[in-house]
Amino acid sequence: MSSKNSKANRRNFLKLCGLTSLPLMVPSLGLGSSILNEGQKFNPDVLDDDNQLINFVTDGLMFSPQERIQKLMEIDKLHPIKTDFYGNGGAISELEQAFAKLTGKEKAIFVPTGTMANQLAIKLLNKDNTKVIVPENSHIFRDEADAAQAVHNKRLIPVGKNKPHFNLQDLKDTIAYYNSGEVFKSGLGTIVIEHPVRRADGASVPLETIKSISNYCRENGYKLHLDGARIHIAAAYTKVSISEYASYFDTVYISLYKYLNASGGAILAGDAEIIDKMNHQIKIYGGTTYQNWDEAAMALHYLKGIEDRWQKATLVAKQIISSLNKLKEVTISDIDNHTNIYNLVLDESIDARKLAQTLSREYNILLRNPNSKGIVKFSINESILRKDTNYIINAWKKSIKHSRK
Amino acid sequence: MSSKNSKANRRNFLKLCGLTSLPLMVPSLGLGSSILNEGQKFNPDVLDDDNQLINFVTDGLMFSPQERIQKLMEIDKLHPIKTDFYGNGGAISELEQAFAKLTGKEKAIFVPTGTMANQLAIKLLNKDNTKVIVPENSHIFRDEADAAQAVHNKRLIPVGKNKPHFNLQDLKDTIAYYNSGEVFKSGLGTIVIEHPVRRADGASVPLETIKSISNYCRENGYKLHLDGARIHIAAAYTKVSISEYASYFDTVYISLYKYLNASGGAILAGDAEIIDKMNHQIKIYGGTTYQNWDEAAMALHYLKGIEDRWQKATLVAKQIISSLNKLKEVTISDIDNHTNIYNLVLDESIDARKLAQTLSREYNILLRNPNSKGIVKFSINESILRKDTNYIINAWKKSIKHSRK
Amino acid sequence: MSSKNSKANRRNFLKLCGLTSLPLMVPSLGLGSSILNEGQKFNPDVLDDDNQLINFVTDGLMFSPQERIQKLMEIDKLHPIKTDFYGNGGAISELEQAFAKLTGKEKAIFVPTGTMANQLAIKLLNKDNTKVIVPENSHIFRDEADAAQAVHNKRLIPVGKNKPHFNLQDLKDTIAYYNSGEVFKSGLGTIVIEHPVRRADGASVPLETIKSISNYCRENGYKLHLDGARIHIAAAYTKVSISEYASYFDTVYISLYKYLNASGGAILAGDAEIIDKMNHQIKIYGGTTYQNWDEAAMALHYLKGIEDRWQKATLVAKQIISSLNKLKEVTISDIDNHTNIYNLVLDESIDARKLAQTLSREYNILLRNPNSKGIVKFSINESILRKDTNYIINAWKKSIKHSRK
Amino acid sequence: MSSKNSKANRRNFLKLCGLTSLPLMVPSLGLGSSILNEGQKFNPDVLDDDNQLINFVTDGLMFSPQERIQKLMEIDKLHPIKTDFYGNGGAISELEQAFAKLTGKEKAIFVPTGTMANQLAIKLLNKDNTKVIVPENSHIFRDEADAAQAVHNKRLIPVGKNKPHFNLQDLKDTIAYYNSGEVFKSGLGTIVIEHPVRRADGASVPLETIKSISNYCRENGYKLHLDGARIHIAAAYTKVSISEYASYFDTVYISLYKYLNASGGAILAGDAEIIDKMNHQIKIYGGTTYQNWDEAAMALHYLKGIEDRWQKATLVAKQIISSLNKLKEVTISDIDNHTNIYNLVLDESIDARKLAQTLSREYNILLRNPNSKGIVKFSINESILRKDTNYIINAWKKSIKHSRK
């Protein structure tokens, strides 16, 4: 595909997505209102041949269908893609082996969605028990439409309200509360940790907290599940390996479309005893899809070298943030235990809306709208490696100038 | 049956129950330790021909099997008992009609347990919705072994932790929290109120609170269920009729073995649309028992004249409490919105254990042990009408004297 | 209670039950139309002081409430009844121990209904498997309102259509059919046998069939459950002990209100591993009823000496049948593998309706209506021991004479 | 992508798929043994630039990953593909609108699998009822791993054993059997027809049968669901339009990866009342996948002009079959109500294995192995339009000659 086609496709993409698909992204970002604004239309004329979007908005590269098809073609040239058959064989088997290795678990299995991976993990881990303790602000408690209760007959007990995550004492207090106050007990079988925490701007759970909870669970016979949808970004920032994180848990779910840029899909890794039961479970809940090599090939591609790329990305991000913080109009600050999300606040002299529009129209750089408190959630991802760092910094400087109220 | 047999049976009962069955009652009272003590053995020699137990322990008359058989025989003489057939016909139909009238609802149905009545009510009211809001300290949330989640696919959302009951603002805040924070919503269909509240020592929910919640539910299309297991006692103390209470709710559950002295069973009353579905539901959950006229006959018997008896019992209780409070060794105080349970505290000079033993051995009067805070939960029930009030007061006075440390 | 009261109560019972409650019995007998007719009104004047009903209709003694209360009083005099507390302790514990001994199983537990006993047995035995093989004409397949599918997520696979029971080959063929034809298999965990078979007029399953199926199940890792609601009658006729029958099964359900005359209830016996899980299961399905000593005391009473009484009853039945078969108007014939039900056909000269009316009015003997094929299902039970055998035979002879068309 | 790449990719595909992936296809074809044999390796040298596989094996074109990527690129050029977002917007919306129009239903929705589409359709149609009547040899009864029972609390009642499909009388008999024999009824709400019938070699259900069952269901208040996974092929052969077929049903499921060549996915069409509930259902069962425009774009592409292409394909198939039937070594015969599958039997002189190998190696034509009865299931699909008809006929003639035993 020539670069001309690429530009044409980009134009199409922009036309198609600019106004219609972006507002649709809101749910995935867990916000109640539009995160991008109407004015963020692209100016196709600024696109050079290698034009690629830089976004400070989400987890990954935000491929258009055209870019995705192109990328699959490139991947196939490097390493011919083999088909799977209802999730068996081919690229899916490669993917499962790669994730078993990455997590250090006996087995890993492809699951079509993270919701299904989380739900089936707690179903299988919990056995005959009803109670599962989960973080109050976790995906499994607040973003899976009550699947645990409505479909899987589980009672989720939330812990850690108004905190990024719960700690061992919170957990013990909760268990004591239920053990002491209920006469006819149903069992507690499983504890869930989400790490990093999407609803806390990607904050990571400190390793010591994870270890203490893990030890407690093992001593008391509770199973521990990791919702590690975004574990790659935690590993990149904390320098703790995914296999070490995984070692503290019985099962680990990792998303394929956050930092691995697949079009969907999830991995669940754990002991063979659990993972071997998954195929049947996926089937009965209607998740046995025909061909999934597309997700597998993309995820495998981006899995290779991810540590190196993120080491580079975190350095580049530091540079960008440091430079922007030198501008009097911009303040970017850390959140506690942050990974790749920062709080960006603009000086009162700047029109945030105009800034976002300028960045997108002139430089193909996407920025979120400020939230109700005036904070722009500023997300780092691999797209900042697509251009020279100075290009990005200059784009900001110039756009700031053009965005005075 | 002669009074001699009666006394012999009483002796048997005392022998049988004194040490063995009473500790078993602990779970029903929701306490973690024995509420009665070993020393509370009865002295059969004090029993006169009309001997009957007076208890400050529980909701009802605490019939032994022998007393229950005897009572059924008396009831049958007054009004011959007709058999039911798997819950249809006979005394059960009479009972259902009586409760439809009492509650002012279109229909009422016999259900073998309160847990089943509560669970099926919320199942049927909630239709396709998953969420049900319940009081944090309710039977449905903490004493039904997670049946709602484990069996009926409901997500119970508790409200009002550390409070006897929630009010309208608590309810609104909770609904707002779930509406604003969850993207993939499952519906909320039903709200539950427990009134009076067993885990709050029988405290009643103020009528204004009930009315405001009821109005809000009707305006917003939520169904409202009353766990009125002990509604008779609330009505006796608040002077609000059961039919008025029931009018604020879509369904009402009332226990048959609390204040109505049956050996088990429950009533669920509501619109025909709901109640007509219950027979099938009771069957599939395994609750269609063969003959239930025993429960029906007892409950019908004690339902007649219950208001008059309780008017008398509350007056007698006032007299007893007033007299006991004149003793320097005894302080009986109200709890907020109390019904029939009071806090009794003994002076340091008195050995609570010895007092309970003396009352039971010498006067056939049962008293609970103090809880960990030194408070004896002091429950009024119809058994105080079994003897002359002065007999009871004098029994206390004499027992206090014999119970110094 | 004097005999005068007894007669008065009988009169009441007859008045009450004659027309209203008997048609209600139809469902329990599994028939689509009335089994008794309007004319079967009793003539209270024929009742002597010891008057008791003789019935050729059902499994047991058909106690009225009055008779049941009286009988409990008698039982209590022989052996004082101890209360249970939510199914724990007292008479219920005695009952559970008696049934553990009777069946030779580690443990037995009281369950409020046979439907709940059957359903929870297959739920617990089947573990993660979905498929349960059941007799096509069993209670569990056709009389439990699809509880297995609607509540317990089980797939019941019926075997043996148009046969009283299936045999080993039928079972093997069915398993082969499902194993060969389904790609995505869900597991088969449990097989159910009903013995004797209510929908086949109480026919028993031959011991050799039971043994061969039991061996096959053990070799192949399937669990085997016995719906032995009426196992007492099978044991009485086949002379195989209940403990031998039970030895071929993992769990055994026995009804308390068929041949043991309780007002309801069931027993489930099996390994401690299964039975220890039942208390929690019973609770979550809403079956934890407050007091159950009534059922326990009655069942325990009738359990003692049941073999002797039935040995006598089968001899008396033989005498009656032999005598009646000498009448040219009556033909009573065996069904294959019969237990206590026979086919009775009347000569064309006899009006079946008139006969039933005469027997009931003049002799307090109950007989079913003929079914659509002109066959009267003729059931033997212990009530034939209530009178002298000649009294019964003469009653028939005289009633036949008065029942010509 | 040049034709050179195409050939290289083909080579890769052949190498990758030849031995490894094809045996994996067996489950999807519902057979217990390999349908293709090891010798069916391709000879890449015979491939011309336009080389494309002709298969007499399955429903569609059997795209390799490489061909699929290439095809998506072509489709995107014709009509730029718009992304969806968790199944909303973009190509998915276009697809849903196209299927609503095609079926004449109010709405259609994308569902990730046919199993999920079937299961959720019967769940929503059946409401509070438990029973669903299904064809004995249907996908929903035998190929969905008991999802209906294990997950959705439905009792599937199979009808039409040993027949390609049931008719109205079979249905009435079944309903009568359950209505007459069960006392505690659970409701029957839904009937399912599969058309055409995969387990009967794609036989279609006669229109008159469908109409009579549809009328009966409407008269009696039953809902009717069509498992029309392969409805396109039925329409092509019977000349009845999909919208006419759909008009007889309440909901219709159509596969996207049978005749429409998508990599997965399904459509469920029906009244807005049902379809509007699907989004939530899909979410709670874990089926809300991130991006699905790939399936949508492919299906939309192949949907356009499908009638014309199949009109042509059926004519070409007739020509091929007629020519092959003139060979004494080949007999191709119709099955009753056949659509695109025929029975092919080879003369004893021919080695079927050798024939299949020759056809694949020399001519890139795939053929199934004979089944245990010596019959080769001979499937027609659009791939026969990829080459000149004479090329195919000659390939057969020459291969036959080289395949003598």
pLDDT of residue C114: 98
Domain borders along chain B are: 31-59+306-401, 90-303
Which residues of chain C approach chain D closer than 8 Å at the C-beta? 27, 30, 32, 130-131, 142-146, 149-151, 153-156, 180-186
Please give, rounded to a whole number of angstroms, the shortest distance from the CA of D277 to a CA of chain A.
13
Instruction: Give the number of other Cβ atoms within 10 Å of residue A276's Cβ.
Output: 14
Q: Which chains touch A (3 or more CB pairs under 8 A)?
A: B, C, D
Q: Does the structure show a pLDDT above 80 at A155?
A: yes
- Cα–Cα distance measured from residue C304 to residue C315, given in angstroms and rounded to the nearest whole number: 19
| C-alpha dihedral (D361, D367, D371, D376), degrees to nearest 10 | -130
- Cα–Cα distance measured from residue D354 to residue D357, given in angstroms and rounded to the nearest whole number: 5
- Cα–Cα distance measured from residue A102 to residue A392, given in angstroms and rounded to the nearest whole number: 33
Residue type, position C73, single letter: M
Q: Are strands D266-270 and D107-111 parallel, antiparallel or unpaired?
A: antiparallel
What is the per-residue DSSP string for B72-111?
Answer: HHHHHHHSPPPPPBTTBSHHHHHHHHHHHHHHT-SEEEEE
- Cα–Cα distance measured from residue C139 to residue C158, given in angstroms and rounded to the nearest whole number: 11
**Do D156 and D200 meet the contact criterion of CB atoms below 8 Å apart?**
no
Q: Give the range among A55-59, B91-95, B184-188, C31-35 with minimum mean pLDDT.
A: C31-35
- From B186, B277, B283, residue closest to D184, measured CB to CB: B283
With contacts defined as CB-CB under 8 Å, which chain D residues touch B87? none
**Which residues of chain D fall below pLDDT 70?**
1-51
- Cα–Cα distance measured from residue B64 to residue B261, given in angstroms and rounded to the nearest whole number: 11
**Do D67 and D75 meet the contact criterion of CB atoms below 8 Å apart?**
no
| Each residue's pLDDT tens digit, C52-87 | 899 999 999 999 999 999 999 999 999 999 999 999
Task: Give the predicted TM-score (pTM) of the model.
Answer: 0.92
Which chain D residue's Cα is nearest to B186?
D280
- Cα–Cα distance measured from residue A129 to residue A288, given in angstroms and rounded to the nearest whole number: 26
Determine whether the interchain pair B153/A156 forms a contact, defined as Cβ–Cβ distance below 8 Å.
no
With contacts defined as CB-CB under 8 Å, which chain B residues touch A141? none
Determine whether the interchain pair B143/A184 forms a contact, defined as Cβ–Cβ distance below 8 Å.
yes
With contacts defined as CB-CB under 8 Å, which chain C residues touch D186? 145-146, 150
| Each residue's pLDDT tens digit, D214-254 | 999 999 999 999 999 999 999 999 999 999 999 999 999 99
Q: Does the structure show a pLDDT above 90 at A280?
A: yes
Which chain B residue's Cα is nearest to D185?
B280
Percentage of residues in chain C having pLDDT higher than 90: 85
Give the single-character DSSP code of A31: -
Tokens (6 digits) for A107: 């087995």
Residue with the bigger pLDDT between C3 and B172: it is B172
Which chain A residue's Cα is nearest to D293?
A65
Mutate to test the interface with B, among C85, C95, C257, C261 (most CBs of B within 10 A): C85
| Each residue's pLDDT tens digit, D34-50 | 455 545 544 444 444 45
Ordered per-residue pLDDT tens for chain B, 405 residues: 333 444 444 343 333 333 223 333 333 333 333 455 545 544 444 444 456 899 999 999 999 999 999 999 999 999 999 999 999 999 999 999 999 999 999 999 999 999 999 999 999 999 999 999 999 999 999 999 999 999 999 999 999 999 999 999 999 999 999 988 888 889 999 999 999 999 999 999 999 999 999 999 999 999 999 999 999 999 999 999 999 999 999 999 999 999 999 999 999 999 999 999 999 999 999 999 999 999 999 999 999 999 999 999 999 999 999 999 999 999 999 999 999 999 999 999 999 999 999 999 999 999 999 999 999 999 999 999 999 999 999 999 999 999 998
Tokens (6 digits) for C56: 């050729």
Tokens (6 digits) for A182: 């209920």
pLDDT of residue B52: 84
Mutate to test the interface with A, among D83, D152, D268 (most CBs of A within 10 A): D83
Please give, rounded to a whole number of angstroms, the shortest distance from the CA of C280 to a CA of chain A.
7
With contacts defined as CB-CB under 8 Å, which chain D residues touch B186? 280, 284
Q: How many beta-carbon contacts under 8 Å exist across A and D?
A: 189
**Do A226 and A165 meet the contact criterion of CB atoms below 8 Å apart?**
no
Q: How many beta-carbon contacts under 8 Å exist across B and C?
A: 188
pLDDT of residue B50: 54
Residue B54 CA to its chain's centroid (Å): 17
Backbone angles phi, psi at A251, to 5 degrees: -140, 150
Give the contacts of B18 (CB within 8 A, at least 6 positions apart): B40, B41, B42
Backbone angles phi, psi at B317, to 5 degrees: -60, -45
With contacts defined as CB-CB under 8 Å, which chain B residues touch C70? 73
Please give, rounded to a whole number of angstroms, the shortest distance from the CA of A280 to a CA of chain C.
7
Tokens (6 digits) for B314: 């509350």
Give the contacts of C263 (CB within 8 A, at least 6 positions apart): B290, B291, B292, B294, C63, C68, C257, C294, C295, C298
With contacts defined as CB-CB under 8 Å, which chain B residues touch A180? 32
Tokens (6 digits) for D43: 């000879």
Give the contacts of C217 (CB within 8 A, at least 6 positions apart): C191, C223, C224
Q: Where are the alpha helices (DSSP H) in B104-188?
A: 114-126, 139-142, 147-150, 168-181
pLDDT of residue D37: 53
Residue type, position D296, single letter: A
Determine whether the interchain pair A32/B131 forms a contact, defined as Cβ–Cβ distance below 8 Å.
no
Domain C90-303, CATH: 3.40.640.10
**Do C250 and C274 meet the contact criterion of CB atoms below 8 Å apart?**
yes
- Cα–Cα distance measured from residue D154 to residue D156, given in angstroms and rounded to the nearest whole number: 6
Mean pLDDT confidence for C379-389: 96
- Cα–Cα distance measured from residue A404 to residue C129, given in angstroms and rounded to the nearest whole number: 67
> Quick one: CATH architecture of D31-59+306-401?
Alpha-Beta Complex (3.90)
Q: How many beta-carbon contacts under 8 Å exist across A and B?
A: 58
pLDDT of residue A182: 83
Buried b / exposed e over A234-245, threshold 16 CB at 10 Å, is bbbbbebebebb
- Cα–Cα distance measured from residue A127 to residue C277, given in angstroms and rounded to the nearest whole number: 13
Q: How confident is the model at residue C51 (pLDDT cuts 50, 70, 90)?
A: low
Tokens (6 digits) for D385: 């339009």
Backbone angles phi, psi at C109, to 5 degrees: -140, 145
Q: Which chains touch B (3 or more CB pairs under 8 A)?
A: A, C, D
Distances in Å between the alpha carbon of D262 and those of B223, C220, D47, D72, D119? 45, 42, 25, 10, 21
- Cα–Cα distance measured from residue D132 to residue D144, given in angstroms and rounded to the nearest whole number: 15
Please give, rounded to a whole number of angstroms, the shortest distance from the CA of C259 to a CA of chain D.
22
Hey, which residues does B111 pair with through a beta bridge? B266
| Structural Rg of chain B based on CA atoms | 22
pLDDT of residue C359: 95
With contacts defined as CB-CB under 8 Å, which chain C residues touch A283? 184
Per DSSP, the three-state class of C260 is coil
Closest CA to B197 of B241, B162, B234: B234
- CA atoms in the 13 A half-sphere facing the CB of C204: 21
**Do A290 and D257 meet the contact criterion of CB atoms below 8 Å apart?**
yes
pLDDT of residue B33: 33
With contacts defined as CB-CB under 8 Å, which chain A residues touch B138? none
Q: Which residue has the tokens 């019967």?
A: D122
pLDDT of residue C15: 37
Backbone angles phi, psi at B203, to 5 degrees: -60, 145
Q: Which chains touch C (3 or more CB pairs under 8 A)?
A: A, B, D
- Cα–Cα distance measured from residue A202 to residue A234, given in angstroms and rounded to the nearest whole number: 8
Percentage of residues in chain D having pLDDT higher than 70: 87
Tokens (6 digits) for A295: 């997700």
ipTM: 0.91
**Do D10 and D47 meet the contact criterion of CB atoms below 8 Å apart?**
yes
Which residues of chain B approach chain A closer than 8 Å at the C-beta? 27, 30, 32, 130-131, 142-146, 149-151, 153-156, 180-186
Please give, rounded to a whole number of angstroms, the shortest distance from the CA of A184 to a CA of chain C.
7
Determine whether the interchain pair B155/A156 forms a contact, defined as Cβ–Cβ distance below 8 Å.
yes
Residue with the bigger pLDDT between C38 and C346: it is C346
Q: Which chains touch D (3 or more CB pairs under 8 A)?
A: A, B, C
Closest CA to B253 of B104, B118, B75: B118
| Each residue's pLDDT tens digit, D276-294 | 999 999 999 999 999 999 9
Tokens (6 digits) for C285: 């399905």
Query: Residue B183: left (phi > 0), alpha (psi -120 to 50), or beta?
Result: alpha
Tokens (6 digits) for B118: 């509560």
pLDDT of residue D50: 54
What is the per-residue DSSP string for B277-334?
Answer: THHHHHHHTT---S--HHHHHHHHHHHTTHHHHHHHHHHHHHHHHHHHHHSTTEEEEP
Mean pLDDT confidence for C137-161: 97
Which chain B residue's Cα is nearest to A161?
B177
pLDDT of residue B40: 54
Which chain B residue's Cα is nearest to A155?
B149
**Do B337 and B164 meet the contact criterion of CB atoms below 8 Å apart?**
yes
Give the contacts of D195 (CB within 8 A, at least 6 positions apart): D165, D204, D205, D210, D226, D227, D228, D231, D234, D245
Tokens (6 digits) for C265: 């209830």
User: By CB neighbour count within 10 A (0-12 exposed, 13-18 middle, 19+ buried), where does C328 fall?
Assistant: exposed
